[in-house]
Amino acid sequence: MKLEYRTLRVEDRGEGLLLATLNRAEVANAMNTQMGRDLLAFFDEINAASLAPRCVVLTGAGDRAFCAGGDLKERNGMTDKAWQDQHLLFERMIRAFIGCPIPVIGAVNGAAYAGGCELALCCDFIYAAETARFALTEVTLGIMPGAGGTQNLPRALGERRAKEIILTGRPFTAAEAYDWGMVNRLCAPGHVVEEALETGRRIADNAPISVRQAKHAIHFGMQMDIASAMMFEIEAYNRMVPTEDRREGVLAFNEKRKPRFKGR
């Protein structure tokens, strides 16, 4: 798959593990139109790929910011139509991101504000540096979260807490995000990518069809009543029964060795 983009650095860490870095450190990795295009192309390619990619770690360049949100210098003076055209691109990118069939781990190394916070919330789970900060500041600029923030944040930490965060625009710390359940792990500064990659490697070593189906069942099952979700889970489960990987997993267990999963 393509690994070269203008605002996104993608590194193949081997065996299906990718490290994707938002690469505009000089402007706190603010998201401009080109970054929207690059992220859309990246996730579109993963979504259309075979089972080769198994896990993605998403982070920001430098140690100051994960992503400061939309590039307001680029947006300054935009016509209404230009603004809406750009946002349509961002909407397409977010849909491709949320639709990614493989796990995406957010490694939040610094500030994740506005659209940057929304990008983090699109990840399956988040590791954050202890010094990271989060905010959804859109209402202080005359707009509102429009990249999934009003939907993903309340699902992560509850409606009442989400309303307070979104309606005030007030920043919060990584420790608060951890206490509220938005962040899975706090990491020492400089170690968040390393720890996320370690977890990503563990995921990538597991049976890829199993990982995809489990993510699929969790994501869509959470949107159903429990009886429908249980039926949906069984449909996802039955996809694994006739696979080589299922037979290899059981055989490896009985032979007391590490399984060699092939994604088929």
Catalytic residues: 118, 138
Length, in residues, of the chain: 264
Q: Which of 73, 57, 189 is nearest to 125 (CA)?
A: 57
Q: What residues have CB less than 8 Å from 190, skipping those under 6 apart?
A: 63, 129
**Integer Cα distance of 193 and 129 in angstroms:** 9
Cβ contact 105:199 at 8 Å:
yes
Cβ contact 183:195 at 8 Å:
no
**Integer Cα distance of 59 and 66 in angstroms:** 6
Give the three-class secondary structure for 17.
strand
Tokens matching residue 148:
């999934």
Longest dimension (CA), the chain: 66
Cβ contact 236:214 at 8 Å:
yes
Give the three-class secondary structure for 8.
strand
**Integer Cα distance of 106 and 155 in angstroms:** 17
Q: Which of 27, 121, 40 is nearest to 71 (CA)?
A: 27
Tokens matching residue 232:
């949906």
